[in-house]
Chain A
Amino acid sequence: MDSPPDSVGTIVRRHRLSTRLWHWLNALLLYVLFTSGLGIFNAHPRLYWGQYGANFDPSWLELDRFPGWITLPGTYSLALSRHWHLAAAPIFAFALLFYMLWSLANRHIGRDLAFRREELTPRHVWHDIKDHARLRFPTGAAALRYNVLQKASYVGVIFVALPLVILTGLTMSPGMNAAWPWLVDLFGGRQSARSIHFITAFALVAFFLVHILMVVLAGPLNEIRSMITGRYRVPEDRP
């Protein structure tokens, strides 16, 4: 988002290279992580709270195995699902860390993602919710800035959900438990961490679905182009 000109219909540079690179790398990695994660889950499709949990213990969720069309690999192989998952996970974690630092340095966080004081008033937030519910998307120069709900969801994903899914993932590793014992305490046990990991993964899927819906409603070609080339056409005002 570089110094937005106000004129409607002009092409502006919207997304930085760092954002575009990370966005697509992340999309690919989250896809691999989610589908291989479901494959791993299929080895023991039960979830528990606390330090321990196995078949004799009460589970809070018990599912059938996820079908092959959504798991990686398509035919059950715990070993191969783990190889995919554990190969993608470190790249994903370091990419997030790198993106956070880069976005801090190039002021993406400070300028685009940080909430401004006036945005956080109940009136403003309520107004934004109503606009979203009516599918009234901002036009003109306003379309070049994230609105408060957008900021909340991006901040929620980048600074809450993604770190949470990484830390709970690390907590499931017995080696990491020895290296960083505080992880186990942070989440109240390995099985709690496994449950939170699962819930967060599905929260990210929920974000993905809403995200896709918003892109489609806001004009998919313009939106997708801006995330590939960075170039974005300022939407016209509603008649």
Chain B
Amino acid sequence: MILNRRHLLLGATATLAGCDRLAGNERFREALFSAENFHKWAQRTLMTRDAMAREFRPDQISPRFRANGTANPNTPEYKAIWRTGFADWRLRVDGRVARPLSLSLAHLHALPHREQITRHDCVEGWSAIGKWRGVPLRPIMEAARLNDRARYLVFHCADDMGGGSAYYESIDMVDAFHPQTILAYALNDRPLSVANGAPLRLRVERQLGYKQAKYLMRIEAVDSLSAIGGGKGGFWEDHAGYDWYAGI
């Protein structure tokens, strides 16, 4: 035959190089990235608004829960609130709300809570199952009297991602008001460890790990994501090109 393995390898590599060049083209890139819109539309069409993420039995919990993202924010500010056992920490809820809130950990502990054993799916491919306890986000946003024009909630975090930029993520109101969307303060019956986002992290169970913002400092209600970071709604969305809709 005319083709040998070397030619095939060269051909495969050349085709892939062609694909890489194509992905460098701005318009092709846009088309490629727009698949996110199709997946979001398709998934939201196929599921009811309150369709639940799978909840597991206690015996299905991962023996050791692998933490994702930052292992320790290690900033002076974070160390200061950590040293006092987060007694001085406050969660601010502001932006497009009629009644901005400032909530202490004790206050959050006193609110009605929800427990859920769910699977954490990292965008890299691994999964870990853990039992979360926390406060549903919905009553908090209702207490803050969310403005009708607010379309997204932005979560500002304490971990410095380099260059002075702290981690941030955002969700829309479909996920904000989902019954399993909670602000978690405990994992597997113990207070959140630093690696897992102490003192408080978001759980949005129908989406991937990078949505589960840790070290929460502030929830900001906005009507557009364009003024947040690079405008794509999250740190990895802006810096690595991840999809904003992480249900895929």
Residues of A within 8 A of B128 (CB): 52, 54
Write out, one digit per residue, whether chain A residues 163-184 have a CB within 8 A of any chain B CB (1) or not (0): 0000000001111111111001
Q: Is the CB of B43 within 8 A of A83?
A: no
New contact pairs (20) apart from A44-B125, A86-B36, CB-CB < 8 Å = A43-B124, A51-B56, A53-B126, A53-B127, A54-B66, A56-B63, A56-B64, A56-B66, A79-B240, A79-B242, A82-B243, A83-B33, A84-B32, A86-B39, A87-B31, A90-B42, A172-B125, A175-B248, A176-B46, A178-B205
Which stretch from A67-75, A115-123, A150-158 is at the chain B interface?
Answer: A67-75
B111 interface contact, C-beta 8 A: no
Q: How long is the Cα–Cα vector from A32 to B35 in the complex, in angstroms?
A: 15
Q: Tell me the nearest residue of chain B to A79, going by C-beta.
A: B241
Write out, one digit per residue, whether chain B residues 8-38 have a CB within 8 A of any chain A CB (1) or not (0): 0100110111011001000000011111101
Residues of A within 8 A of B123 (CB): 43, 78, 82
- CB-defined A-B contacts under 8 Å, sample of 9: A54-B66, A55-B66, A70-B16, A72-B16, A72-B19, A78-B240, A83-B35, A86-B243, A175-B39
A110 interface contact, C-beta 8 A: no
Q: Is the CB of B63 within 8 A of A174?
A: no
Q: Is the CB of A51 within 8 A of B52?
A: no
Interchain nearest-CB distance for A230 vs B (Å): 24
Q: Is the CB of B12 within 8 A of A46?
A: no
B1 interface contact, C-beta 8 A: yes
Interface residues of A (CB under 8 A from B): 31-32, 35, 40-41, 43-44, 46, 51-57, 69-74, 77-80, 82-84, 86-87, 90, 172-181, 184, 190-191, 194, 216, 220
Residues of B within 8 A of A173 (CB): 39, 43, 247-248
B181 interface contact, C-beta 8 A: no
Q: How long is the Cα–Cα vector from A102 to B80 in the complex, in angstroms?
A: 66
Residues of A within 8 A of B20 (CB): 72-74
Residues of A within 8 A of B207 (CB): 174-175
Q: What is the count of residue pairs linking A and B with beta-carbon distances less than 8 angstroms? A: 148
B122 interface contact, C-beta 8 A: yes
Interchain nearest-CB distance for A213 vs B (Å): 10
Q: Is the CB of A57 within 8 A of B248?
A: no
Q: Is the CB of A87 within 8 A of B248?
A: no
B89-143: which have CB < 8 Å to A? Answer: 119, 121-129
B214 interface contact, C-beta 8 A: no
B190 interface contact, C-beta 8 A: no
B47 interface contact, C-beta 8 A: yes
A52-B129, A190-B119 are contacts. A174–B16 as well, Cβ < 8 Å? no
Most central of A57, A87, A177, A178 by chain B CB within 10 Å: A178
The listed residue (B51, B66, B125, B243) touching A40 by CB distance below 8 A is B125
B71 interface contact, C-beta 8 A: no
Q: How long is the Cα–Cα vector from A52 to B52 in the complex, in angstroms?
A: 18
B206 interface contact, C-beta 8 A: yes
A90-B35, A190-B121, A220-B1 are contacts. A180–B46 as well, Cβ < 8 Å? yes
Q: Tell me the nearest residue of chain B to A71, going by C-beta.
A: B16
Q: Is the CB of A52 within 8 A of B62?
A: yes
Q: Tell me the nearest residue of chain A to B239, going by C-beta.
A: A79
Q: Is the CB of B13 within 8 A of A69?
A: yes
The listed residue (A43, A71, A84) touching B125 by CB distance below 8 A is A43
Q: How long is the Cα–Cα vector from A197 to B63 in the complex, in angstroms?
A: 25
Q: How long is the Cα–Cα vector from A115 to B242 in the complex, in angstroms?
A: 46
Q: How long is the Cα–Cα vector from A191 to B34 in the complex, in angstroms?
A: 27
Interchain nearest-CB distance for B241 vs A (Å): 4
